């Protein structure tokens, strides 16, 4: 096997990898991954994935989310930035601004913030922590 095909295989393995944070787990700090990630626990920090982030029904995230695609069923207190599709499931609760190229909202989802569908690039690229990200105060 050539070195190039080994490098390509490892990149493919990384992208198709999947990470999972269990319901009983709390993480304080940012999470950065090239692969997919599913959160069922609590995260006090930002999450960045080059692929897909799934926030389960039992999950709570206090921080910004950056991904190509995201599916949210739990609670997020922070901005959500998707360069592709964002799915808000019926049990989702978002308290923050949304930037996404495509937005799908199920009946029952709750969203407090502004929405910008210009391609998911408005949140600061380097930001991961919980920020105000331009939210207006009432």
CA gap 6, 12 in Å, rounded: 10
The backbone torsions φ and ψ at residue 131, rounded to the nearest 5 degrees and listed phi first, read -130, 170
For residue range 2-12, list pLDDT tens digits in order: 555 555 555 55
Residue 119 or residue 130, greater confidence:
119
Provide the β-strand partners of residue 19.
37
pLDDT for 17? 72
Token pair belonging to 67 = 């991904």
Q: Give the model's confidence band at 127: pLDDT under 50 very low, under 70 low, under 90 confident, else very high.
A: very low
83 and 66 Cβ atoms separated by less than 8 Å: no
């Amino acid at each position: 096997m050539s070195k190039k095909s080994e490098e390509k295989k490892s990149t493919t393995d990384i992208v198709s990898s999947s990470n999972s944070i269990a319901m009983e787990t709390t993480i304080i700090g940012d999470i950065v991954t090239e692969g997919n990630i599913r959160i069922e626990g609590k995260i006090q920090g930002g999450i960045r994935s080059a692929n897909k982030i799934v926030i389960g029904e039992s999950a709570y995230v206090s921080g910004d989310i950056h991904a190509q695609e995201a599916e949210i069923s739990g609670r997020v207190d922070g901005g959500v930035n998707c360069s592709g599709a964002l799915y808000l499931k019926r049990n989702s609760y978002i308290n923050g601004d949304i930037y996404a190229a495509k937005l799908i909202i199920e009946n029952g989802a709750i969203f407090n913030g502004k929405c910008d569908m210009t391609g998911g690039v408005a949140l600061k690229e380097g930001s991961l922590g919980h920020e105000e990200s331009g939210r207006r105060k009432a």
